[in-house]
Structure 1
Amino acid sequence: MTSSAGRSPSARARDARWRGALAVLEEMRREPGITRAVMAQRLGLTTGSATEITARLRELALIAETPAAASGRGRPTTVLHPHPDGPVVVAADIRQEDWRIAVTALDGRPRIAEAGTHASREPGRVVDVIAAAVRRVREHHGDRVRAVSVAVAATVRHGGVVQSAALGWDAVDLTALVPDSRLPLLVGNDATLAGAAEARYGAATGAATALHVTIEVGVGGTLVVDGRPVVGATGAGGEFGHLPFGDPALRCPCGATGCWDLMVDGRAIARHLGEPPPRDPRSYAQAAVDRAAGNGLVRSAVGRAASGFGRGLAGLVNAFDPDIVTLGGFAEPLRAAAAAEFDTALADGLMRFRRSDPPPVVAAVLGGDGALHGAAVTALDGVLTEEGLSAWAAERTG
């Protein structure tokens, strides 16, 4: 490894220039529509330095500037935007029933390009359909596409899908989603990526340690520490739904018994009502919540699921000691529909010293787009590096 002290003056100057550029781009990403004046103030840049850096970023098609609305006295300033010819990443979200493809510029906000419902959950057919959509996006944007990032409702290990109870998959190869082998392919669990996005842009912004828990088909989530999800040794961490918080007599599709998954989603509600397992547990659970107010049996079944959720969440709080807990997917509607049962189970499950000052439990603000945002975050983190900007600049000037 070469130390910075051992680098040539020109190399050190180049790195310093990229550091300033990266800082500006991160501010634009953190607050789309930020003005150059506010950006310079936050970064402690002089007017001259801010002008020099933004001029270079414009030349490289990384930012565009438009006049800011006048606001009293003071020098006029500009609003920073991603350049219309600048780099983008493709984010994909593969869910139990459907899929979506989004294009994300340097402001970090996904914009849906294509979407569809699975005609079949057979892995090869799903991959083929989504791969075709990614190819169309790549053909439209050309070499501006710098990476493809996929959020999938599955356990992800070493960057690949190894199992998905939601989709009925075992190991599935997703490399066909990348139309060009030179493009990086990033694959992550949807709940993990949603938690990362909530910590970066959502309800947990600023928290040193945030716990994100979501219910779709079962329970997923992640612990985010200093903005980074804790994914374990192989990337398969955060499988909260497979903690043995449930009935040991019940076998989960994952192969284990007693999984928490089976106690909190639509499958649990159907079981309490004596009905067969639903094909789409998420939609079934939401329909049950909608019916609960006028049906005592359904209300009781929803309450039992909320109680099971609160009890398990208490265990996670005891284990991880988060500053804040964010709830995504069906988790927040379930809590709201049976607040008394949830609150009682959560309080009873907390260690005594925590009960007087438990972490706030709040709804995620990115909603159903959390996984897409998280996929975009992951991809842009790779693009917005000294190496990533150097590669882009070389292509632009080559």
Structure 2
Amino acid sequence: MLRSLRTEGAATRTELARRTGLAKATIGTIVAELGTGGAVSEDQSAPSGRGRPGRPVTLTGESIIGLGFEVNVDYLAAVALDLGGNARISTIRQVESAGPPTIDEVLSLVTEIRDSMLAAGHSIVGATVAVPGLVEHDNRTIAWAPNLGWDNVQLAAKLESALGGTCPVTVDNDANCAALAEASHGVTTDVQHSLYITGTVGIGAGIVQDGRLLRGGAGFAGEVGHMPIGDESSVCGCGRTGCWEASVGLRAMLKAVGMDESETPLSTAVSVAERAAEDAGIRAALAELGTNLGTGLATLATVIDPSVIVLGGYFVPLGQYVVPAAETVLAARLPAADKHLPEIRLSSLGIHAAALGAAEGSLAGVYAGAVSI
């Protein structure tokens, strides 16, 4: 019933019985229980009775919170999402250390958000952390995150301790989380098949089909930044040469335009876009980057056949300079481009996309009935 209210909106008890296939009396019992727990509310002002429309039941759940965090090379992000899909907290922090964030910095942010939510009277039912790397099948262990310098890190256990052992913690890939956020809050709510491309120091992909992530045999699907289709002389953060990421990642872009990185990938790209408006050389460099981007997208689209390709992160402010070249390559390289050409869209969720998707993931146990409220 919670899933029905979230995806299809408010409904009367009769309508909920029709949607779910449950008996109306059962729906009444569930509504009463969920109302006591603060998950739903029933409009008592609406008239009810024989011959009158029923009172609509609405998913509220303001006090039931899922936490989402993103750990990236140069920033940390956090989102606290209530059961109705409303963000109660949305914040970003620049990494204070002279390199990737430390575990202590992550734990400090987690503790701060936890304390804020508990002080406001909220109940935290779960937390998910998005990271730019490979995550083991247990959804708790970071197998390999080269840009963070983390290898076999038991991150979930550390965060559960910081949260006081009161809620489960999972770990997921940042592109996977951002792809889910776009499907539920962003620019792919209208399609069933989408490919999300991160635009940070690393390049990853989240693949969504029929509302579910495609994870692959070991759960490592989407590590597209390490496809060997980049400049063979460029060294990647993974230590190899020729990776796509080394040609189209944030630092590759900055090297191409001769500019320095600022606080976050988005703020950096905004500065580049401002310069590009007046500098033909920078526009040409971005167009070349768009060509390299399109080459990789064409490779992926040939295999995955998405309806929409979403570009996130630093690509968004630079869309007008990068996307046209990528679209040209995509149209030229796809064997059936005349029959189906994926549309390239820019993310609408900003720097918080992965953290928002992580927060959605932390509420999944509630919608699956595995976590009581």
TM-score bracket for this pair, using the shorter chain length: 0.7 to 0.9
- Answer yes or no: is the 8 Å Cα contact 2:327–2:344 preserved in 1: no
Q: Does 1:337 align with 2:321?
A: yes
Change (3 A) 1:39 1:225: same
Match of residue 35 from structure 2: 58
Identity %: 29
Match of residue 8 from structure 1: none
- Counterpart-to-counterpart distance in 2, 1:259 and 1:313: 14
- Counterpart-to-counterpart distance in 2, 1:69 and 1:260: 58
Match of residue 222 from structure 2: 238
Kindly provide the amino acid, as one letter, of the partner of residue 77 in structure 1. R
SS in 2 for 1:223: strand
- Counterpart-to-counterpart distance in 2, 1:142 and 1:177: 21
Match of residue 172 from structure 1: 153
- Answer yes or no: is the 8 Å Cα contact 1:64–1:84 preserved in 2: no
Change (3 A) 1:66 1:193: same
- Counterpart-to-counterpart distance in 2, 1:143 and 1:292: 45
Kindly provide the amino acid, as one letter, of the partner of residue 242 in structure 2. G
- Counterpart-to-counterpart distance in 2, 1:338 and 1:51: 54
Match of residue 236 from structure 2: 252
Match of residue 154 from structure 1: 133
Kindly provide the amino acid, as one letter, of the partner of residue 132 in structure 1. T
- Counterpart-to-counterpart distance in 1, 2:315 and 2:16: 37
Q: How much does 1:212 deviate? A: 1.5
- Rg (Cα) greater in structure: 1
Give the 5 Å matches for 1:1-398: 24-30=1-7, 34-36=10-12, 39=16, 42-43=19-20, 50-67=27-44, 75=53, 77-78=55-56, 80-85=58-63, 87-112=64-89, 115-120=92-97, 121-137=100-116, 139-140=118-119, 144-158=123-137, 159=139, 160-174=141-155, 175-178=157-160, 179-181=163-165, 183-205=167-189, 207-273=191-257, 275=258, 278=261, 282=265, 283-351=267-335, 353-389=336-372, 392=373
Kindly provide the amino acid, as one letter, of the partner of residue 363 in structure 1. L
Change (3 A) 1:113 1:213: closer
State the Cα RMSD in Å. 3.1
Gaps of 5+ in 2: none
Q: How much does 1:304 deviate? A: 0.9
Query: Once the two structures are superposed, what CA deviation does each residue of 1:117-154 show, in whole Å capped at 9, x if it has no partner?
Result: 32113523323322432542464378932212112233
- Higher relative contact order by CA 8 Å / sep ≥ 6: 1 or 2? 2
Q: How much does 1:184 deviate? A: 1.5
Higher helix share: 1
Pick which of 216-225 and 127-136 moved more: 127-136
Kindly provide the amino acid, as one letter, of the partner of residue 358 in structure 2. A
Change (3 A) 1:142 1:235: farther
Q: How much does 1:165 deviate? A: 4.5
Provide the TM-score with structure 1 as the length reference: 0.79
- Answer yes or no: is the 8 Å Cα contact 2:40–2:57 preserved in 1: no
Kindly provide the amino acid, as one letter, of the partner of residue 176 in structure 1. K
Gaps of 5+ in 1: 1-23, 393-398
- Counterpart-to-counterpart distance in 1, 2:324 and 2:368: 48
Would you say how many aligned residue pairs link Structure 1 and Structure 2? 361
Q: How much does 1:292 deviate? A: 1.1
Change (3 A) 1:255 1:142: farther
Provide the TM-score with structure 2 as the length reference: 0.83
